[in-house]
């Protein structure tokens, strides 16, 4: 079955760039119909969608983070990457990658996050 | 952005209880509403999509209902493994800006 694994530095200094990688195993990152999202969870708080990428390279970001976010894909390594620039303490969070797919009923397709990585904790501190 | 508000924020219940968690959207989202369960230290798990469709492998004691702005997640008979935090999430926005509720923590009474 498809599994996702996040990796990257656990500590980033303020004003620097946060860089994380999500490695996808057990399935193709290039399968049609699947988007690859990054989602974060601030300590003890709720969930915030950061953005996603489709296998052809098209991206869409949360407007609140768009100016600082880049999501990219390396299909040869089956990896999705996240870069978040000019980080502050407010970017301290657990970062998850998640497969995003439209699950079908008889009526519609509903975008869901159906498979998640285990998350990686990132602290922004000097 | 569409704001999602859950109530209550926390809930104490006993094994075997029937519990209901509600989620309200700041505007109509039809039935583009998903529910997730998150256990401590783990990633969220998809339970229900499209307001009422059970994800594969999820026990039938979980059910969802609602449309428009008001939704609910019901657990018909709480099991020990159900004590967790539950989040609703809308997927109505186009272009997508997926947003989550703040979570409801279900605790053992």
Instruction: For B5-47, write each residue's pLDDT tens digit.
Output: 999 999 999 999 999 999 999 999 999 999 999 999 999 999 9
Length of chain B: 109
Distance of CA B86 to the CA centre of its chain: 5
Chain B nearest CA to A123, separation (Å): 16
Among the listed residues A63, A103, A97, the one whose alpha carbon sits nearest the alpha carbon of residue A79: A97
Cα-trace Rg, chain B: 13
On the question of pLDDT at B67 being above 90, the answer is: yes
pLDDT of residue A106: 83
Flag whether residue A38 sits within 8 Å of chain B, measured between CB atoms.
Answer: no
Average pLDDT of chain B to the nearest whole number: 97
Tell me how far apart the 2 most distant CA atoms of chain B are, in Å: 42
Identify which has the larger pLDDT, A55 or B90: B90
Identify which has the larger pLDDT, A105 or B27: B27
Instruction: Please state, in angstroms and rounded to a whole number, the distance separating the CA atoms of residues B68 and B31.
Output: 7
Flag whether residue B92 sits within 8 Å of chain A, measured between CB atoms.
Answer: no
Flag whether residue B35 sits within 8 Å of chain A, measured between CB atoms.
Answer: no
pLDDT of residue B93: 92
Residues A1-46 have pLDDT tens digits of 999 999 999 999 999 999 999 999 999 999 889 999 999 999 988 9
On the question of pLDDT at A107 being above 90, the answer is: no
Cβ–Cβ below 8 Å for A113 and B46: yes
Chain A nearest CA to B2, separation (Å): 12
Cβ–Cβ below 8 Å for A47 and B50: no
In contact, A35 and A22? CB cutoff 8 Å = no
Instruction: From residue B64, give the alpha-carbon distance in Å to each of A11, A65, A93, A95, A117.
Output: 39, 31, 29, 28, 25
Identify which has the larger pLDDT, B109 or B9: B9
In contact, A53 and A59? CB cutoff 8 Å = yes
Residues A47-104 have pLDDT tens digits of 999 999 998 999 999 999 999 999 999 999 999 999 999 999 999 999 999 999 988 8
pLDDT of residue B54: 97
pLDDT of residue A109: 87
In contact, A23 and A78? CB cutoff 8 Å = yes
């Amino acid at each position: 079955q498809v599994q996702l694994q996040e990796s990257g530095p656990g500590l980033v200094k303020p004003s620097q760039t946060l860089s994380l990688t999500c490695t996808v195993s057990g399935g193709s990152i290039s399968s049609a119909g699947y988007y690859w999202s990054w989602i974060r969870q601030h300590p003890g708080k709720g969930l915030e969608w950061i953005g996603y990428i489709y296998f052809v390279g098209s991206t869409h970001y949360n407007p609140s983070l768009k100016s600082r976010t880049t999501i990219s894909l390396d299909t040869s390594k089956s990896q999705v990457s996240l870069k978040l620039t000019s980080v502050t303490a407010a970017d301290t969070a657990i970062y998850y990658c998640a497969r995003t797919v439209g699950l079908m009923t008889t009526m519609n397709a509903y975008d869901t996050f159906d498979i998640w990585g285990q998350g990686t904790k990132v602290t922004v501190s000097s | 952005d569409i704001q999602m508000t859950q109530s209550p924020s926390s809930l104490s219940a006993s094994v075997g209880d029937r519990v209901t968690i509600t989620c309200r959207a700041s505007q109509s989202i039809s039935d583009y509403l998903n529910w997730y369960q998150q256990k401590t230290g783990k990633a969220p798990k998809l339970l229900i999509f499209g307001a009422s469709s059970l994800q594969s492998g999820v026990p039938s004691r979980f059910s969802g209902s609602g449309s428009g702005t008001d939704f609910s997640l019901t657990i018909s008979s709480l099991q020990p493994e159900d004590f967790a935090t539950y989040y609703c999430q809308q997927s109505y926005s186009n272009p997508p800006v997926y947003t989550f509720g703040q979570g409801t923590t279900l605790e053992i009474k």
